[in-house]
Structure 1
Amino acid sequence: MNGVRVREMTEADIDAVAAVRVRGWQEAYAGLMPQSYLNGMSVQEDAERRREFFSRGVGDVVNLVAEANGGEVVGWCCFGPYRDGDAPTGDAELYALYVRPAQVGTGVGRALLGESLDRVGERGFPRLRLWVLRDNARARRFYERAGFAPDGGTESYEVDGVSVPEVRYALRLDPAAG
């Protein structure tokens, strides 16, 4: 996408990020998790949670937004230290990456992922991990094209009584990049 700019998220971006996240879930996870759950998602409630998170300080978590020409927020991602339970592992984790549904395939996701990889590398993390729904073929192809591969980690969580399986992906980073 020409003219996309990636920058750190500010408090002023919260409403736009909540809309990107909720609409992204509703589009990407249709058929992969209960539709009743997706239909019940609220942009306003998501924004309220984000405001509370921002008010406490973001700590080691980095939130990035992608802006289109004119400053409209069209994508969001966040990353930070990977945690296996409560124990730090030394790796980083991409916690989320969402793009407005109309912008999927335009390069917004690649721009966000590229900036995240640069920043994770600058911080000296040896690997970036992420979790993706097992049956989300589009997301899995996206990450595989970027060099990620499943590392054998699996887990499931429950959404409205339905088990939703995930697989973990990892990308080893060039230690010289940081």
Structure 2
Amino acid sequence: MPFGAHETMEVHEILNEKLNLISHFGLYAQMTQNEQIRSMLTRHMQSAMMSYDRLVTYTHDYAAANQQPPTYQGMTINIQPQQIQYGLHNPMPIAPQMQGSLNDQQIVSAMLICHKSSAKVHMQAALECADPNVRQMLIQGSITCAEQAYEVFLMMNQQGQYQVPTMNDHTAKTFLHSYQPAQGGQGFVPNSSYMQHQ
């Protein structure tokens, strides 16, 4: 079975993105002084390598589609909304730094950006795929990257490095409560004229 031109180019971009992520995370693991960050980097690199290998294997042999990858099990499963720290509390000034290595805060920030970007490009690529197996691999890749991004965010949030800005609670509720359930909470119920045309 042939691959379409569009999905071939999308897979090419995803594989290059994965190679880049793996290479960068390897460098970050050497630079970090924090064992928790190093452990997370190692787990995320292993996950990226499995995803990379699975996609490469499928492009060489269609039979590889039968090998289901394990779903990524990060630390985000039992998080409750109350555990997220909201609000700005003396945020540190940020400016570009041009030193030869990265500190731990720069490393986790780079990890978060890599995962967010990867989640987006995986989903965008999946939307262009005709092959159902490639499409599913890319969707799963997007979900995994989103989970890993959230895992990094949680660590940063707990350490006060990623502060979540808020607005006045009354303003937020007033704004969001303007949306009401469809059909008064009843969901979509086709009217009789709609049913007659079917």
Structure with more of its chain in strand, by fraction: 1
Greater Rg over alpha carbons, structure:
2
What TM-score do the two structures reach when normalised by structure 1?
A: 0.27
What TM-score do the two structures reach when normalised by structure 2?
A: 0.25
Structure with more of its chain in helix, by fraction: 2
The structure with higher relative contact order (CA 8 Å, sep 6+) is 2
